[in-house]
Chains A and B, each alone.
Chain A
Amino acid sequence: MVEKFSHDIAIVGAGAAGLRAAIAAATFSDKLSIGLLSKVYPMRSHTVSAEGGTAAVLKDYDSTDLHALDTIKGSDYLADQDAVELFVREAPSEVIQLEHWGCPWSREEDGKLAARAFGGMSVKRTLFAADKTGFHLLHTLLQHSLKYPGIVRYDEWFVLSLAVEDGAVRGLVALDLRTSELAFVSASAVIVATGGAGRMYQFTTNGVIKTGDGMAISYRAGVPLKDMEFIQFHPTALPGTGILITEASRGEGGYLKNKDGERFLSRYTPEKMELGPRDILSRALVQEIREGRGFEGPFGAYLLLDLRHLGEKVIDSKLPFVRELALNYAKIDPVKEPIPVRPAQHYTMGGIHTDVNGRTPLPGLYSCGEAACVTINGANRLGSNSLSECLVFGRRAGQDAASFALSRRERDHNPGGDRSVSSVQYVSLAEEKMNRLLKKEGGQERLAEMREGLQSLMETKVGIFREEKGLREALREIRELKGRLPSAKVDDRGRTFNMEMVHAFELDFMLDVAESVAYSALMRQESRGAHFRTDFPKRDDKSLEGPDKGQEVPPGTDTRELLPGVRSKVPSEDVRLGCTQLRE
């Protein structure tokens, strides 16, 4: 007997984007029933780890045109410029909305919101709550969401697949982690807000939960993934763990130094120095290390982030979390010593193909946040645009889904729409997959071995620098891993919090996402933003001339062809990248 739930809207993922969407839908109409599913309690979502801030134009000296221009330049001209314009126009009111809901933003002496400098932003426009902006944003959203009886939470429910019938999404299959029971959740609209897929890399700032689940289930439902080759590496993470040391530490004036004590960025991005875009900085760090100007440590080579000249007072008031992290996890007090740093995977620019209302090509299916690709980030996201993106597009997706679900409800006279969906069929498919794991005898290879295999091949072959040979090898190895996964050795046969089963599903999802990243990286024969091909080190603007958006997308289409239109209002500059010079 399969348990069934019915909602107007089902939201998968309860980080900033998912919660913002839920609240938007709940305020759109109190008639709506909203199911909010997450494989973790909402406050564990990875939004919690965002540190530096949220970009929005709220100062007299700033303008939305300038924010748009910075974002488009930062994207290496791949962003959808119409989407960027809309994004920068709506970001300020979202920040104010969060302020009205109680977010403890840091303030100026006069009580106004304080703004700080950030990489690629030409003026101070990053609003912040000390260096725990994501944490405060997430908790504010969660606490505020408790006000709405229309939002029904399913904490620690893991969504395994989407149900698609008659060309529209009808619901989803979810696993209750407490019991391993499967349930069918019918819904007129489903919003996927599951974040990125950083855990397919060995060194990542991402939490362990970021395994690309939503991207994979959408892809399997025939929805295109877009711009997947663009993986952001953050220049400053702690070696070994990959713990993020926020860009705000450079925004507040920190220096990057090599073994000779030199601020080496003067050779790569002399004008912007430490506040250059992340793609350029990450490549510069790797280059320094390759040329022997890094330090050797137990976790490989690293460089230094020096905050000492900022003084204890600034560090404690503006960067308290950086001090705490460095003390706890690197045994370094940044007031007295520089912090060892190296680049680590940080963000997936690509994701589920959506328009500015979060709609995917599959009717009823929406996506927002890091899981989605609108795209405002193009080939490289600017720091502090991602929290704003979660808010702006979370709200838009929530509202559009609400209006869509209401129209369905009027037509079908019940929440969740058409009941004729063959839910049993979807559940039994998931059940079969689960039982293959739980009841399987034998098996040799441990899941951890396969996961580490994936992480290491992504790191070395689909990392900061890529070339055809490595990418082809990576693709072959990923496909091989896919073949081996069903024969993994599984210890846990129980049904209560079987985390091993969860990790097996996650790895299964990650392999699909990794394949799409490696494939897209192989296909893009140019270097742009975060995607650097050593065999094609120059940017090729002919690649921008793709088909326009709104085009029909049959499942299985080579999605790299689906460049959204309107990318040419701001003409691309001849030289933006430090990378081409860097190679010569």
Chain B
Amino acid sequence: MFVLDALNYASDWLDGSLAFRWSCRMGVCGSCGALVDGTPRLTCAAPIPETGEKVVIEPLHNFPVQKDLVVDIGDFMEKLGRVEPWIIRERERALEEGEYPQKPEELEKYDQFSACINCMLCYAACPVFAADKEFIGPAAAALGYRYNLDSRDEGATERLDLLTGGAGAFDCTFVGECSIVCPKNVDPALALQRIKIDAALTSLKSIMRRGK
């Protein structure tokens, strides 16, 4: 018995006006996030203790609540588009030329960051986002950075500017809560730190080039 089952029981048999999102009930669609006893969880994967203790369910923090457990994530969708989460290349291969070869170890480099299900638990846990809603945040940063690590992509420099501009990666204070709550073992905190390092190295390189 999971928290989602309890929510469904309540809306089916007790009060049909209860509003919450869910679909796959197998931890991959990312729609059923909520605070369970204060911790951001996927309700479909949060077991109800068999000891019969009370479980407190609240909407995810840091988002405008629309109704009950339904929060507005429109801001994330906008941020996701802003980090250009697609392959950027000077010349695109024709389809007839086949796939871009990518060795398993090259896939390994970005694989974990591509596992983000956009469930928003990391935003609910992030103290920086809590204080500043402009902050790009863990998921959007990790998803943008995922393309920087992809051997098929040539847009890293352009994307680093987007990831660090405005309330970008440098605002992250490396609390690491995002990585702790991630239900898919993505490490967005690591992505944010590496974005900072990559950006610092890039600007260092350009200073050195100018010095020559």
Chain A residues close to B by CB (< 8 Å) = 40-41, 43-46, 48-49, 93, 96-97, 99-102, 104-113, 132, 135-136, 139, 143-144, 146-147, 153, 155, 178, 207-209, 241, 243-244, 321, 324-325, 328-329, 446-448, 489-494, 496-500
Contact = CB atoms under 8 A, between A and B. Distances in A.
A101 B67 CA distance: 36
17 contacts: A44-B24, A44-B29, A48-B24, A93-B96, A102-B147, A104-B110, A107-B103, A107-B107, A113-B99, A146-B81, A208-B25, A243-B25, A324-B27, A329-B26, A493-B17, A496-B66, A500-B11
Contacts of B92: 100
B152 to A, nearest CB: 7
Interface stretch (B111-119, B125-133, B159-167, B198-206): B111-119
B137 interface: no
A46 B150 CA distance: 26
Contacts of A41: 31, 73, 77, 118
Nearest to B87: A102
Contacts of B40: none
A259 to B, nearest CB: 27
Top 3 A-B residue pairs of the complex, sorted by shortest distance between their CB atoms:
A111-B101, A448-B12, A492-B17
B95 A143 contact: no
Contacts of B21: 40, 44
A96 B96 CA distance: 9
Given A49-B26, A96-B98, A102-B150, A178 B66 contact: yes
B25 A93 contact: no
A497 B26 contact: no
B173 interface: no
A107 B102 contact: yes
A111 B86 contact: no
A107 B87 contact: no
Contact of B80 (A101, A113, A143, A209): A143
Interface string B18-33: 1111111111111100
Interface centre among B73, B81, B86 (most CB of A within 10 A): B86
A447 B18 CA distance: 14
Given A49-B26, A146-B85, A328-B45, A110 B101 contact: yes
A309 to B, nearest CB: 23
Given A178-B66, A446-B12, A44 B98 contact: no
A480 to B, nearest CB: 21
Contact of B26 (A100, A144, A325, A493): A325
Most buried by B among A43, A49, A147: A43
A499 B11 contact: yes
A328 B25 CA distance: 11
Interface residues of B, number: 59
A494 B116 CA distance: 33
A46 B86 contact: no
A43 B106 CA distance: 25
Interface in B119-160: 143, 147, 150, 152-153
A99 B107 CA distance: 12
Given A41-B73, A155-B77, A447-B16, A104 B25 contact: no
A40 B84 CA distance: 22
Contact of B106 (A100, A111, A490): A111
A446 B95 CA distance: 53
A33 to B, nearest CB: 17
B93 interface: yes
A321 B28 CA distance: 10
B67 A40 contact: no
A395 B106 CA distance: 29
Given A43-B29, A207-B25, A325-B26, A497 B66 contact: yes
B128 to A, nearest CB: 24
Contacts of A102: 86-87, 147, 150, 152-153
Contacts of A209: 23
A112 B99 contact: yes
A137 to B, nearest CB: 12
B117 A99 contact: no
Contacts of A499: 11, 18-20
Contact of A99 (B16, B99, B106, B110): B99
**Residue among A111, A243, A490 having the largest count of chain B Cβ atoms under 10 Å:** A111
B27 A328 contact: yes
Contacts of A143: 80, 85-86, 143
B32 to A, nearest CB: 9
A496 B17 CA distance: 10
Contacts of B45: 328
A57 to B, nearest CB: 13
A74 to B, nearest CB: 26
B70 interface: yes
B80 A40 contact: no
A448 B9 CA distance: 9
B108 to A, nearest CB: 10
Contacts of B85: 143, 146
Contact of A110 (B15, B16, B103, B147): B103
Given A101-B86, A135-B117, A96 B107 contact: no
Given A41-B77, A146-B85, A136 B114 contact: yes
A40 B16 contact: no
A324 B81 CA distance: 30
B99 A96 contact: yes
Count chain A CB atoms within 10 A of each CB in B11, B26, B114 and give the residue with the most.
Answer: B26
A502 to B, nearest CB: 10
Nearest to B68: A497
B190 to A, nearest CB: 18
A46 B15 CA distance: 27
A500 B17 contact: yes
B28 A135 contact: yes
A91 to B, nearest CB: 12
Contacts of B16: 446-447, 489-492, 500
B104 interface: yes
A195 to B, nearest CB: 11
Given A107-B103, A208-B23, A132 B13 contact: no
Given A146-B80, A496-B66, A497-B67, 16 more contacts: A43-B117, A48-B24, A49-B24, A96-B98, A100-B152, A106-B104, A111-B101, A111-B106, A112-B99, A132-B115, A143-B80, A143-B85, A207-B23, A208-B25, A497-B70, A498-B17
A496 B100 contact: no
Interface in B60-93: 66-68, 70, 73-74, 77, 80-81, 84-87, 92-93
B101 A44 contact: no
Contacts of B101: 107, 110-112
A132 B26 CA distance: 12
A169 B111 CA distance: 43
Contacts of B143: 143
Given A110-B101, A143-B143, A207-B23, A100 B28 contact: no
Contact of A243 (B26, B102, B111, B152): B26
Contacts of B70: 497
Nearest to A134: B28
Contacts of A178: 66
